[in-house]
Amino acid sequence: ENLKIAATARYIPERVVSNNELSTIMDTSDEWIYPRTGIHNRHVVTDENTSDLATHVAQRLLEKSGWSADELDFIIVSTMSPDSLSPHTAAIVQGNIKASKAFAFDLNAACSGFVYGLSAASALLSSGRYRKGMFIGAEVLSKLVDWKDRTVSVLFGDGAGGVLLEQTNESVGLIAEELQSYGEMGNAILTGRFANQNAFSGEISPLDPYFHQDGRSVYGFATREVPKIMNKALDKAGLAADDIDLYLAHQANERIIRSMAKNFGQDLAKFPTNMAEYGNTSAGSTAILLDELVESGQVHPGMKIAFVGFGGGLAIGVQIWQL
């Protein structure tokens, strides 16, 4: 499908929290966290929420591309940590940047959110009904974790990244995708639960709203199932793993990425990582990584890129792009 990524951008909140700082508020250490996860630091908001991060990304995308806000046909924000259910975060962004002709909606596919959102944005453009779209992955996971739970709170961070997409007649764009959910395993990654308490339900025991994950089973799921989905996407694209120049994988855990590289028979150099600095920023992670690589020149036109998302749902998504 002839689609062009016209610009990329990211926005990371300023406040850095190192593993060492975390060890002053909970019983943990860099020696415990880093070897298991590849994480040294994470960034957290202090006075911003998800829509603020996404709005910064939107403004940077418009600045970099020279597009004006009212050229946008739509804005999609992929997030599992919206400011509110209503207004949805994409609508807040649309209002903030005065994208007067755009419709906006949020999408939640947890850590596969960047790939699922890229799929939705690509489909809207390939339908021929729209020409220019903005897609942002944005998270403030720091409001969803229990900062007294050292097993989970050390894994996550806040951040956002995004792309501008447009129809093009250049032979670039989405080559193939494979998206798959595994709802029966959904309870392995839980957060943001609302109890179904109402005037007619009688007493419902309150649910804790915090992040819980069965790390071992998610780890096993990711290493087992992602390669299968990747191979399906490669088959659809008529490509081999060697043909992909870079694999931009969700930045959940360094060891998982290492095992994926081994599984695909690929050099670790093809799997750039930045979780050391940002932790797991769910739908933001691949978008942030993409913008950093574009900025450093490691990602440029002519390359074949695979975006790989996996996590809450549970869900997996792979998209292969010709840049």
Please give the positions annotated as active site. 111, 250, 280
Report how far Cα 158 is from the mean position of its chain's Cα atoms: 11
By CB under 6 A, tell whether 251 contacts ligand 4VN: no
111 binds ligand 4VN (CB under 6 A): yes
Q: How far apart are CA 172 and CA 106, in angstroms?
A: 26
Query: Do 252 and 308 meet the contact criterion of CB atoms below 8 Å apart?
Result: no
Name which of residues 172 to 231 contact ligand 4VN (CB under 6 A).
189, 213, 215, 218-219, 222
| Backbone φ, ψ for residue 43 (5° rounding) | -105, 140
**CA–CA dist 160, 13 (Å, integer):** 9
Figure out which of the listed residues 8, 49, 50, 253 binds ligand 4VN, where binding follows CB under 6 A: 253
Dist CA 232 CA 318 (whole Å): 9
Stretch that binds ligand 4VN, among 22-30, 59-67, 176-184, 309-317 (CB under 6 A): 309-317
Q: Any contact of residue 36 with ligand 4VN (CB under 6 A)?
A: yes
Least distance between ligand 4VN and beta carbon 77 (Å) = 17
Q: What is the dihedral of CA 288, 289, 293, 299, to 10 degrees?
A: -110
The pattern of x and - marking residues 140 through 159 that bind ligand 4VN according to CB under 6 A reads: ---------------x----
- 264: contact with ligand 4VN by CB under 6 A: no
The candidate with the shortest Cα–Cα distance to 280, out of 153, 181, 179, is 153
Q: For residue 252, give the amino acid letter.
A: A
Q: Smallest gap, in angstroms, from Cβ of residue 226 to ligand 4VN?
A: 9
Interaction site with ligand 4VN (CB under 6 A): 36-37, 111, 155, 189, 213, 215, 218-219, 222, 252-253, 256, 280, 282, 310-312
